[in-house]
Chain A
Amino acid sequence: MSKKSFIEANRISFSYPSYEGEIPSLVLDGIDVSIEEGEFVAVLGHNGSGKSTLAKHFNAILVPTEGSVSVSGISTAEEARLFEIRQEVGMVFQNPDNQIVATIIEEDVAFALENLGVPPAEIRERVDDALRKVDMYDYRLHAPNQLSGGQKQRIAIAGIVAMRPKCVVLDEPTAMLDPKGRREVMKTVKQLNKELGITVVIITHYMDEAAMCDRVVVVDDGKIIMDSTPEKVFGNVELIKERGLDVPQVTELCHELRKEGIDIPESVLTEEECVAVLENLLKGGAQNG
């Protein structure tokens, strides 16, 4: 028997229930994807391509009409083990306001644990721990509406982290935030992955965020059209643009320079790398001339 991946989607298709007489359109169309423990995966795709629908299959909010999804070997169709799955794979959504339930921050972070019937003393400990991990411990007694968007989003993350999940799926967590909030949230998400070893799947529209990940999956029209490292995916600038997506600014710049015949390695992704390469080139150019 082959070892199963942490999350494994096997040829899944899905269509939302439709009105009588209407032909249901496939939102997911035979997707095959597996996610290993500890990975940091970005999911890209334009609006309506089925990213959120796919994400909802990872913690049994939706079950595929065809094919199967398993989390830690448990099939998401197994209703009796629903809470086990949701505890392993937590989910954070776009609008920070619409996922905070309680009027006091620490009570909101405790919400999942209360639902799971964890003993009070242990809840307290895990809530404090989760709040420290997202760096919001000092705000534990505040009301949600006293916080900024980025802070609220970190509280939402803490509410999930308190469950001690193996994986967090974030559905465009930074889409409604200002640049400062985005930075805070991305820093927290990176910490989850690098320091706590939590598997992260992040759906995003920001290409610089995708460039931070270890793996990029591009979804288009319910199918996965690319699934590789950010270098490889963004290396294919033409295809990405054809699908109505952007590439990170750095990639775009390098691509244009390469077209002009300037030699820049394909692996350049971050601003720092780009600056270093360009500096080198300019120095080299100065010496030659």
Chain B
Amino acid sequence: MLKDITFGQYFPGDSIIHRLDPRMKLILIIVYIVLLFVADGLFSLLIGAAMGIAFYALSKLPWKLVIKCIKPIMPIIIFTAVLNIFFVEGDPIFEWKFISVSGKGVLTAVLMCIRIICLIAGSSLLTYTTTPIALTDGLERLMKPLQKIKVPVHELSMMMTIALRFIPTLIDETQKIMAAQKARGADMESGNIIEKAKALIPILIPLFVSAFRRADELALAMECRCYHGGEGRTRMKQLKLTAKDFGAAIFVAGGFAAVILMNMFGPEVFRL
């Protein structure tokens, strides 16, 4: 049960989306998000949505994953929609007592909903198709230039890697400690929230103590293997952009161009 949270985001597969270079995926997702906000009318935005659908189709992931990632933000989507519908000023198309709904309000609400859904589904697709370690790797390499302005890029990525490495170990350990405390008669299931929180203390304290001990030993082992930060470090695995990465880039660039053209020359209806 605890194990599910570990790599729950990544769905192994061998599709073209899975095999894209993580750096390219990161860049493209940023471009895609910008695109969603550049689109200023329903038709432009539908191009963006179509691109998102195409990506999902190419990833060969089950469609219900889209629902899975949208579900938690459903309240936010509904809230935004309601706010937009009732509070955007414009020519009223519906009036009842003090409530008035404008055409502009409805349009804003619809556009906002499509944007948020595409944004969440798009970025979830990134984590669905990329292992956390590949993501960390891609991020480190993309952010390398930031090192010049003293952002500790290598250190952050090293921490991330070690965290990913130790999550399963610490989960195992938590389960062992829980079993040990239960064997001593600890009661973790019953009681109100405060009692349950109190029951966590005898689990968390040994866990923390052991985590610190592990950190100490790991640091020593890293020192013995000549670790001295990111300076002068090479990597065994080099990321290489291949034809499919450029293909994906061209596809997104094409989509972007289409959105801009639609903004400029598309029909004047359903615009903000």
- Besides A101-B221, A120-B237, A145-B169, 13 more A-B contacts (Cβ < 8 Å) are A61-B223, A61-B224, A86-B223, A90-B225, A97-B214, A98-B217, A98-B218, A101-B165, A107-B237, A115-B225, A115-B233, A123-B234, A127-B236
Q: Give the interface SS of chain A, mostly helix, strand, loop or mixed.
A: helix
Instruction: Report Cα–Cα, A114/B172, bound state, in Å.
Output: 29
Contacts of B236 in A (CB 8 A): 106-107, 110, 113-114, 120, 123-124, 127
- Cβ-neighbour of B222 out of A101, A107, A116 (below 8 A): A101
| B162 CB-CB contact with A under 8 Å | yes
Q: Which residue of B lies closest to A115 (CB)?
A: B226
A90 to B225, CA, bound (A): 7
Q: Which residue of A lies closest to B238 (CB)?
A: A120
Looking at the assembled complex, report how far the CB atom of A198 sits from the nearest CB atom of chain B, in whole angstroms: 15
Q: Are A83 and B169 in contact (CB under 8 A)?
A: no
B237: chain A residues at CB < 8 Å are 107, 120
Instruction: From B168, B220, B225, B234, give the contact of A159 (CB < 8 A).
Output: B225
Q: Which one of B169, B224, B234 contacts A117 once the chains associate, using CB atoms below 8 Å? A: B234
- Neighbour of B233 across the interface among A93, A102, A114, CB < 8 A: A114
* Total residue contacts A-B, CB cutoff 8 A: 91
Q: Is B258 an interface residue (CB 8 A)?
A: no
B residues whose Cβ falls under 8 Å from a Cβ of A: 133, 161-162, 164-165, 168-169, 172, 213-214, 217-218, 220-228, 232-238
Instruction: Return B232 CB to nearest CB of chain A, in Å.
Output: 5
10 contacts between A and B (CB under 8 A): A61-B220, A61-B223, A90-B225, A98-B218, A99-B218, A101-B218, A115-B228, A145-B172, A160-B225, A163-B226
Say yes or no for A206: interface residue by CB 8 A criterion. Answer: no
Give the residue of B169, B220, B232 whose beta carbon is less than 8 angstroms from that of A97: B169
Residue of A nearest to B228 (CB): A115
Interface centre among B162, B235, B238, by most chain A C-beta atoms within 10 angstroms, is B235
CA distance A119 to B232 in the complex (A): 11
The residues of A that contact B234 with a CB separation of less than 8 Å are 113-114, 117-120, 123
The CA-CA distance from A114 to B234 in the complex, in Å, is: 5
Say if the beta carbon of A95 comes within 8 Å of chain B. Answer: yes
Q: Which A residues touch B165, using CB under 8 A? A: 100-103, 144
B172 surroundings in chain A (CB, below 8 A): 145
Contact of B224 among A86, A102, A119, A123 (CB under 8 A): A86
- A247-260 vs B, CB cutoff 8 Å, 1 = contact: the mask equals 00000000000000
Task: Please give the residue numbers on chain A whose beta carbons come within 8 Å of chain B beta carbons, in ascending order.
Answer: 59, 61, 83, 86-87, 90-91, 93, 95, 97-104, 106-107, 110-120, 123-124, 127, 143-145, 156, 159-160, 163
- Complex CA gap A16/B256 in Å reads 63
A9 to chain B, nearest CB (A): 18
A98 adjacent to B221 (CB under 8 Å): yes
CB distance from B133 to the nearest CB of A (A): 5
The 9 A-B residue pairs with the shortest CB-CB distance, nearest first, are A99-B221, A112-B225, A98-B217, A110-B236, A123-B236, A145-B168, A91-B224, A115-B226, A117-B232
Minimal Cβ-Cβ distance residue in B for A123: B236
Question: What's the Cα separation between A114 and B226 when bound, in Å?
Answer: 9
Residues of B within 8 A of A91 (CB): 221, 224
Give the CA-CA distance A4 to B234 in the complex, in Å: 34
Asked if B169 contacts A103 (CB within 8 A), the reply is no
Q: Using CB atoms, name the residue of chain B closest to A118.
A: B234
- When the two chains form their complex, are residues B164 and A103 in contact, meaning their CB atoms are under 8 A apart? yes
